Amino acid sequence: MAWLGRPCQFDLSAVCTTQDWSVGRFSAPLVAAMSRAVDQLKQRAGAQSIALAGHSGGATMALLLAQRREDVRAVVSIAGVLDHGAWTDHHGVTPLKQSLRIDDQAHKLAQLPQAHFAGARDRVAPSTLMRRFIREYGPFACVMDRVAEQADHQNGWLAYWPELLAWGRERLARCAAPWRASGLQLR
C-alpha cells in the first residue's frame, strides 16, 4: 500500500502554478505526473496490477488514472468528488475548466469494479452526487455504493471502516473476472 498526494495539493513549490491547485487540479499534465508516480511505486513493489483508492478529490484522480491505465483492477472512493463538474455546479463555485473530466472517457470505467462510500452528513461531497455519478455514467458491470450515516467529509470514517472494508471485500470479490484473476485483495 502506498499513499500519494495529488500533485500541488500539499506542496505549492515553485513548479506549481495557481491553476495547478485550482481550476487545473485534474489537468492532463497533473494526471500524467500522478501516473508516473504510480508507475514508480508499482515497479518498486513488483506489482503487475493495482487498485486505487481516493478521498475527496483523490477519488477524481483515481478514476482519471483508471481510465488511462490498463493495470487498474478496482477503484474505491471515500467521500469522493467523482464528477467535479457536478460538484462545482452543486456548490456554485468556479468550474475546473482546465481539468480533465470523467465523462470524456466514462465508457472505459464500465467493466472496472468500483466501490464508492459517502457520508450522510457530508456537505462537501454529498451522497446525492455519488449516486448521480453512478446513475449518469453507468451502467457499470460492478459498482456498489454505501452511505455511512454518521460520517461527514472528514470525520466518522474510522468507526465505519471495519464494516465498510468487509462489505467492500465481499462485494468486490463477486465482481468481474479481471478482479478475481488479478489476485488483488482489499486490506
Secondary structure letter of residue 183 according to DSSP = T
Residue 90, amino acid:
H
The values of phi and psi at residue 92, to 5°, are: 65, 40
Model confidence at 186, pLDDT cuts 50, 70, 90, reads very low
Q: Rounded to whole angstroms, what are the CA distances from 39 to 10, 113, 156?
A: 21, 21, 32
On the 0-12 / 13-18 / 19+ scale of CB atoms within 10 A, 8 is buried
The tens digit of pLDDT for each residue in 124-171 reads 999 999 999 998 887 777 888 899 999 999 999 998 888 877 877 777
Residue 150, amino acid:
Q
- All cell numbers assigned to 6: 495529488
- All cell numbers assigned to 64: 482519471
The tens digit of pLDDT for each residue in 72-81 reads 988 999 999 9
The tens digit of pLDDT for each residue in 9-36 reads 777 666 777 777 788 889 999 999 999 9
30 sits in which H/E element = helix 28-45
The tens digit of pLDDT for each residue in 137-146 reads 877 778 888 9
CATH architecture for segment(s) 21-182:
3-Layer(aba) Sandwich (3.40)
